[in-house]
Chain A
Amino acid sequence: MAVDRFPVEYSHIMMFARSVGDPNPIYHDPEAAKATEPGAVIAPPTFVQSSAQFDPDYVLRPKIGAPWFGSGKNPTGVAPGSGGGGNGGGLHAEQHYEYHRHPQAGDVLTATVKPGESWEKQGRRGGKLLFQETITEYRDQNGELVVTARGIGVRTERPATSEA
């Protein structure tokens, strides 16, 4: 997901670390973080994934005033086949990070995305599996490369009866 401005903020890091069950003070206590080698609140290793919050077009976030495919009165909020998110999209097959340095609270990152390879495989229960690789480069306010992320998503071709 391409993002023009991804401010790395202390409270976002704190909430992210809580959600992955990591009580390390370097993620929530600026005083304690000063005494560590990085010397500041840093982002946990998988934090850059939350740049999704700053992608205006991210499809897996409800948009104000727009239809959402999760349940409300009905099990799904969109008509079948309307293209409003379908069965929840693909699944995440792999994720890889290379750390050039670890982002700190106060950094302002950008994310640029380029498609990688794509390929097909036959699924075990029939149907094709469609794999797509995506490479995301996170750079800081000085234009320095901070994290390189490589994700692989997979989409399954399922029988029409089981699709939204």
Chain B
Amino acid sequence: MALKASEVKVGDVFSCVLVEDLKRTQIVQYAGASGDYNPLHTDEIFTKEVAGYPSVFAHGMLTMGMTARLLTDTVGDGRLTRYGVRFTAQVWPGDDLSAKATVTAVQDVDGVAIAEFDVETTNQDGAVVLSGSAAARLDP
């Protein structure tokens, strides 16, 4: 079911919990599916002893992929026209992540209703780990 332009207004907020206590295994699962096998995400020994980080950390693209679920669940399957983010802080194993999408515009573009969103994902400490925007085609 797609979102209807008549049922949404600027300032509306959609949110959901993306993950609680992010597991290293999920990061490995994303590495395998995406093909990004960078040891910084999957190899604790390399990451601590060679790269000098406190532990492995999630691919930014895993956070972007998890956050996409809020958008597609909100606007409907196949409705996104644009989705872009900045990765603003690292995501670590054990993190809890929540995403929020705020409607910033609902407009008619050449006869098609388009909604624009600000998108933000935060961790358990309230730190923003991903910040961006998206647009989607709505039903009238």
Task: Indicate whether A142 reaches chain B with its CB closer than 8 angstroms.
Answer: no
Task: Indicate whether A88 reaches chain B with its CB closer than 8 angstroms.
Answer: yes
Tell me the chain A residues, 22-81 only, with Cβ under 8 Å from chain B.
22, 24, 26, 36-38, 42, 44-46, 49-53, 55, 58, 60-62, 69-71, 75-76
A164 partner residues in chain B, CB cutoff 8 A? 50-51
What's the interface size class on B, roughly?
35 or more
Distance A120 CA – B6 CA, assembled complex (angstroms): 45
Task: Indicate whether B126 reaches chain A with its CB closer than 8 angstroms.
Answer: no
Pairwise interchain contact A24-B29, C-beta atoms closer than 8 A? no
Closest residue of chain B to A69, judged by CB? B39
Pairwise interchain contact A50-B34, C-beta atoms closer than 8 A? yes
Distance A19 CA – B36 CA, assembled complex (angstroms): 13
Task: Indicate whether A15 reaches chain B with its CB closer than 8 angstroms.
Answer: yes
Task: Indicate whether B9 reaches chain A with its CB closer than 8 angstroms.
Answer: no
Minimal beta-carbon separation of B119 from chain A (angstroms):
11
Distance A97 CA – B47 CA, assembled complex (angstroms): 29
B87 partner residues in chain A, CB cutoff 8 A? 91-95
Distance A61 CA – B32 CA, assembled complex (angstroms): 10
Pairwise interchain contact B61-A49, C-beta atoms closer than 8 A? yes
Closest residue of chain A to B38, judged by CB? A60
Closest residue of chain B to A43, judged by CB? B78
Residues of A with Cβ closer than 8 Å to B?
Answer: 12, 15-16, 18-22, 24, 26, 36-38, 42, 44-46, 49-53, 55, 58, 60-62, 69-71, 75-76, 87-89, 91-99, 101-102, 150, 162, 164
Given A44-B65, A71-B50, A102-B78, 19 more contacts at CB 8 Å? A16-B34, A19-B29, A19-B32, A19-B62, A19-B65, A22-B68, A24-B72, A44-B68, A46-B65, A49-B61, A51-B35, A61-B35, A76-B46, A88-B39, A92-B60, A99-B82, A162-B52, A164-B50, A164-B51
Residues of B with Cβ closer than 8 Å to A?
Answer: 2, 18-19, 26, 29-30, 32-40, 42-43, 45-47, 49-52, 59-62, 64-66, 68-69, 71-73, 76-87, 132
